[in-house]
């Protein structure tokens, strides 16, 4: 059974600081997704990583994938309050990309 | 706005009842997925349809069923509801179903409260 573990689960940061969220998964997959969720809202797609070594960046967020280590990271640079949200990684499992196995999420709080 | 439309947004119902959640995928998307989000279980994949056919099944209870219609909208039917079924139910859609890495877009969700 595929397990997806994120850490930390809670992260309180100061504005301007950098930090990394880690996503480990337990079986072979080369499709990894990052989503953002604001409280009570939908999941917003941030990145889709499709191969070993993939790196994508959007604004202050950068995601990478190491399929050999079964690890993805979401790096936050110079955090701002607007980045406060819960971030989920999800791994595509099996023959269908829809069978996404989600991590528990990392609740990020960026304080002034 | 992801383009995935879900109704109703909120629903309160009693134990033992049956409800239907509806989803319209993004224009052009053939795959529809249903996910359940609860505090204790997190986000769980329930079921996927592609162009009207069931393609993958996750942790979907026997009391739950779904279908995708010829116009590609989908319905998730939840019956004999229990308190533990209270959750946020998401519909998502994507262009294809193959292992191609298409972005999967989520709707706003349907909040179900069972009392």
pLDDT averaged over 10-residue windows placed end to end, chain B, 115 residues:
94 98 96 94 92 90 97 98 97 78 90 97
Q: Could you tell me if A72 and A55 are in contact, meaning their C-beta atoms sit under 8 angstroms apart? A: no
Cβ-based neighbours of A28, under 8 Å, separated by 6 or more: A67, A70
Range A36-42, long-range pairs (CB < 8 A, 24+ positions): A36/A85, A36/A86, A36/A87, A36/A88, A37/A85, A37/A86, A37/A87, A37/A88, A37/A105, A38/A85, A38/A86, A39/A86, A41/B108, A42/B2, A42/B90, A42/B106, A42/B107, A42/B108, A42/B109
Q: Phi-psi region for residue A98, left (φ > 0), alpha (ψ -120 to 50) or beta?
A: alpha
CB contact under 8 A, A48 and B103: yes
pLDDT digits (tens, 9 = 90+) for A27-53: 877 789 999 999 989 999 999 998 888
* Structure token pair of residue B16: 């033992």
pLDDT of residue A98: 58
For chain A, list residues with pLDDT below 70: 94-98
| B89 contact A CB<8A | no
Q: Which residues from A are below 8 Å from B when comparing CB atoms?
A: 31, 33, 35, 41-45, 48, 50, 88, 90, 92, 94-105
Q: How far B14 CA lies from chain A's nearest CA (Å)?
A: 22
pLDDT of residue A97: 52
CB contact under 8 A, B31 and A98: yes
Residue with tokens 């010829």: B70
Which residue of B lies nearest to A50 if distances are taken between CA atoms?
B101
CB contact under 8 A, B107 and A96: no
CB contact under 8 A, B92 and A98: yes
Q: Could you tell me if A111 and A15 are in contact, meaning their C-beta atoms sit under 8 angstroms apart? A: yes
By Cβ distance, the residue of B55, B90, B107 closest to A96 is B55
* Structure token pair of residue B23: 């989803």
Is the alpha carbon torsion for A37, B59, B55, B65 positive or negative?
Answer: negative
Q: Residue A48 CB: number of other CB atoms within 10 A?
A: 20
Q: How far B8 CA lies from chain A's nearest CA (Å)?
A: 14
| B107 contact A CB<8A | yes
* Structure token pair of residue B109: 């969700």
CB contact under 8 A, A96 and B2: no
CB contact under 8 A, A100 and B104: yes
Q: Are strands B74-78 and B87-94 parallel, antiparallel or unpaired?
A: unpaired
pLDDT of residue B2: 87
pLDDT of residue A8: 97
Which residue of A lies nearest to B31 if distances are taken between CA atoms?
A98
Q: Which of B2, B87, B98 is nearest to A46 (CA)?
A: B2
pLDDT of residue A11: 94
């Amino acid at each position: 059974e595929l397990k997806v573990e994120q850490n930390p689960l809670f992260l309180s940061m100061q504005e301007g600081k950098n930090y990394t969220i880690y996503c480990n998964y337990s079986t072979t997959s080369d499709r990894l997704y990052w989503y953002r969720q604001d409280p009570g809202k939908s999941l917003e797609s941030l990145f889709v990583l499709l191969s070993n070594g993939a790196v994508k960046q959007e604004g202050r967020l950068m995601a990478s994938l190491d399929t050999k280590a079964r690890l993805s990271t979401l790096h936050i640079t110079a955090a701002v309050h607007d980045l406060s949200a819960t971030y989920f990684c999800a791994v595509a499992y099996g023959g269908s990309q829809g069978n996404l196995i989600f991590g528990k999420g990392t609740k990020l709080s960026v304080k002034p | 706005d992801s383009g995935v439309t879900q109704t109703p947004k909120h629903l309160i119902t009693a134990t033992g009842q049956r409800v239907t959640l509806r989803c319209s995928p993004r224009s052009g998307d053939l795959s529809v997925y249903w996910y359940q989000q609860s505090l204790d279980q997190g986000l769980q994949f329930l079921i996927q349809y592609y162009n009207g056919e069931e393609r993958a099944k996750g942790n979907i209870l026997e009391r739950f069923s779904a279908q995708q219609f010829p116009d590609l909208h989908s319905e998730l039917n939840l019956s004999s509801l229990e308190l533990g079924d209270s959750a946020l139910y998401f519909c998502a859609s994507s262009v294809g179903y193959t292992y191609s890495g298409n972005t999967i877009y989520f709707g706003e969700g349907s909040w179900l409260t069972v009392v």
